[in-house]
Structure 1
Amino acid sequence: MGTDLMDVAEMRGVLSRQPSFMAKVFTDAERAYCDILDDPAERYAVRFAAKEAVLKALGTGLAGSALTDIEVRRAPTGKPSLHLTGRAAALAETAGIRSWLISLTHTATLAHALVAGVGDVGDEAGREVSP
């Protein structure tokens, strides 16, 4: 399980000072979704929070994987989901995570993400145990 809280104003500042940040952190699909708005900071902030929450759930922190290996998707109904590739997907597989639960929320000032990896029941070494 992982959670993260992001300040929207801080994200807005990073986006304006470091235009290359978006390509380093967000996938093409995420950028297309966020950039529909005149001020996409809330959408970017909540996606960044989700990426950090995933890495916390995997026990690695920001150094664990490229952030573009973690994509926040949005169904037509608005329901968010996660799609992992590369190193993030490998870490999830090693941890026995088969799917993710994700909850996102944001206001004009704060963005919050909560994620939980769902998978095999095991001990800390990854060995299967009886419930």
Structure 2
Amino acid sequence: MQNDQPLLFTPLVGQVGKTPPDWLFGSGGVTGLPTPLHLPQGTNVAVGIDIIEVDRVRKVFEKHGDRFLQRVFTPLEIQQCRGKVTRLAGRFAAKEAISKALGTGLHGVAWREMEVVNLRSGRPSVRLHGRARQRALDLGLTAFDVSTSDLAQMAIAIAVAIQTDYPNNDIPLLSDREV
């Protein structure tokens, strides 16, 4: 007899081969879920997306100026945006998208711990610091990519995180010289 009970897919809740912590699923833990949790295996992908009105960022920037910039963006991000509100909005949306791909939202991860910087080629890249970096390591992330686009009125970003079955200490790391 075939079991028609649905499966719950939640990518990147933990590392491959390790049981995720119960606290991720609320007070009932894994046993309180409405359907069985299908644990990630092999290569897994998590996606985050965000869209924001450029005027929202413009108004906050005009009202709070450097205080807003220092709270949300790193010095390199501020330098690369050159005061252009559409670029700031794109980076803001990218940070929201990154936090969603990390599975945290903005709970437990600070704005400046997620950094979106352009490589010399102009391509945006993700650098994670502090708790965001630790979350990525805890998940066994082996790649993170981000793309942004903006118009006069809107900015949008998408972030994609990849998790493969590399043990944490075997994830290949490269230097930051390209930035």
Query: Which TM-score band (shorter chain)?
Result: 0.7 to 0.9
Aligned to 1:46: 90
Separation (CA, whole Å) in 2 of partners of 1:89 and 1:116: 15
For residue 6 of structure 1, what is the aligned residue in structure 2? 52
Provide the C-alpha distance between the structure 2 equivalents of 1:21 and 1:99, rounded to a whole number of angstroms. Answer: 29
Distance 1:91 1:60 in 2: 9
Structure 1 stretches of at least 4 aligned residues deviating more than 3 Å after TM superposition: none
Percent identical pairs in the alignment equals 37
**Alignment match of 1:58 (pick from 102, 110, 118):** 102
The alpha-carbon deviation at position 57 of structure 1 amounts to: 0.9
Answer yes or no: is the 8 Å Cα contact 1:55–1:64 preserved in 2: no
Name the residue aligned to 1:124: none
Q: Which runs of 5+ in 2 are unaligned?
A: 1-46, 166-179
Q: Say whether residues 1:15 and 2:15 are aligned partners.
A: no
Q: 1:26 aligns with which of 58, 63, 73?
A: 73
Greater relative contact order: 1 or 2 (C-alpha under 8 angstroms, separation 6 or more)?
Answer: 1
Counting helix residues as a fraction of each chain, which structure ranks higher? Answer: 1
The aligned length equals: 119
RMSD of aligned alpha carbons: 1.4
Give the TM-score normalised by structure 2.
Answer: 0.63
Q: Give me the TM-score of the superposition, normalised by structure 1.
A: 0.85
| Structure 1: gaps (5+ residues) | 122-131
Kept in 1: contact 2:77–2:117 (CA 8 A): yes
